[in-house]
Chain A
């Protein structure tokens, strides 16, 4: 179903003022995929409460507020068991539950009438639309929730931004195709790589750290919010530390720039990835920052692929995931 129609159906069923909380639930990269949606709601919602949880925490410590006045969005590519369980928990609590699934045959779709199928965007092949990813579709649901439940002044801007998304993603990737091999050369021998960013990009930063580096590359990685960097983490920085700094185009750009200023002075192995270079500024200013992570995510994938290629490491190799019971 389309995001707009789902939210219309929920609004009709719940009545005016009938929805008070939105819970965004997933694991790992799927949880990170919900971050842009959470970020939008956390900054723009006037009365809706929005929370962001890893699936099992939602299952075992279900918020008391979750019930008939809640919308729960559950995201999983291939029916992660704890996310299916979170979906069941939400339905049992009487919440309007939206399954964001990578397959038409998802078990979540048997649990709830509201579902959206998403498609991962392959940053190498570039043969599908970046508007159909979990990030983009979850964000789309969030825009609809804001607009339909509270009224959102920049709604039309958001719709226009979606129309431009593919073009900006492709520009960002073309730009990064030439930068990524330079990063790979600088970090080929590194056993730890920090990833830094802020604001709307926190989720993309987290996914780059835990999915790209820890999971795919088996390389230690610390994800650091640039606002937090100066309150502890910067003490491990030295000339040799490998750092990927994501500089966003949104309101928290000042935080990223402050980290950049410091890193330029104290770190020699720095890779700066600035979304201004992708042309994100072509998007309407009121909604630009919410789309920043949608462009960053495939760009970060290209950097990872370049590193994998240089190291001769297959990005699909796993030691444990889907191979042994856990």
Chain B
């Protein structure tokens, strides 16, 4: 079933007042553009994003037969499968976003089997971004809001989603020199701060915990641009490695304020600005909501380049899938 049909089918069964996104790590970060959109635009619909095991162990009372539980995991992370089952026990409609089962072994169908509905995805630089989890989750959120309460930016969103893959490809091309500069500048660093806001906060979190901590073994505090001046900026000095993500959209002034401070007090920082990418091809009224998706696409190329420069293959892990945990 296409995403729009899934939403229609769910709404034909029951009225929906809430949506819970449950996922872990990078999959949790992939839910962020959808969550930010719903938190900002939804008039009645309630939305929440929780790491899977918090949902399992401290399940919100609001999760009922009037809820949708959306779980996202590439290979059926055990606690995410359990979160989906928890939602189902509460009578919620469950939707599993998972790595395309056609490419997976049977044991990893678990997430798909636990859900009423399944949306297969594949994350790969070689495939259109619309095949990936973050874009499909976002599309689901847009459909849901439009079908539940009507969303005036719907036509613009559809247009934006059609243009998105071209936008990301062009953006990656435009940012190639920046990715190279970032990788060379930060190859030897032990700690890199990542700062962002609004629609791009998830991209900042994903770059911190997946690209830097998990794949590159580099410490990385994630800082919200609005929070930077209320504590975190005290560690800033000319030597501190910082990557600032500047979004399009309403929270851009928060990022610009951080930029002004960094220009004066840092020096070893790097800026990735959505406005210098190819986002002008997206409809202006909804452009900001795509910031995390576009910046996330570009950051994937940052990670690739960082791996090449550091001679650190992105598949090497110390613990993940290597030891029991």
Binding site for B on A (CB under 8 A): 20, 27-31, 42-47, 49, 51, 54-57, 60-61, 63-65, 80, 82, 192, 198-199, 209-211, 214-216, 218-223, 225, 227-228, 230-238, 250-252, 254-255, 258, 262, 266, 289, 318-321, 326
Contact = CB atoms under 8 A, between A and B. Distances in A.
Interface residues of B, number: 68
Contact of A61 (B42, B190, B251): B251
Interface string B241-269: 00000000111011001000100010000
Contact of A235 (B79, B236, B317): B317
A235 B53 contact: no
18 contacts: A28-B231, A30-B230, A56-B226, A65-B42, A209-B221, A210-B232, A216-B234, A222-B213, A222-B221, A231-B24, A232-B213, A234-B325, A235-B320, A252-B57, A254-B53, A255-B53, A320-B233, A326-B257
A28 B230 contact: yes
A42 B42 CA distance: 17
A251 B57 contact: yes
A63 B219 contact: no
Contacts of B249: 61
Contact of B230 (A20, A80, A199, A234): A80
Nearest to A221: B221
Q: Is the interface of B mostly helix, strand, loop or mixed?
A: mixed
Given A198-B54, A235-B320, A252-B58, A57 B25 contact: no
B297 to A, nearest CB: 19
Contact of A214 (B197, B215, B235): B235
A130 to B, nearest CB: 22
Contacts of A235: 213-215, 217, 317-320
B58 A199 contact: yes
Contacts of A57: 197-198, 224, 226, 251, 254
B325 A262 contact: yes
Nearest to A215: B231
Contacts of B234: 214-216, 218, 318-321
B93 to A, nearest CB: 18
Q: Which of B17, B58, B64 has the most CB of A within 10 A?
A: B58
A192 B230 contact: no
Given A210-B230, A214-B235, A222-B221, A236 B57 contact: no
B161 interface: no
Contact of B320 (A210, A218, A234, A255): A234
Contacts of B27: 231
A262 B24 CA distance: 18
B78 to A, nearest CB: 10
Interface string B208-224: 01100111011111011
Interface stretch (B44-52, B107-115, B119-127, B298-306): B44-52
Contact of A231 (B26, B232, B257, B318): B26
A28 B214 CA distance: 26
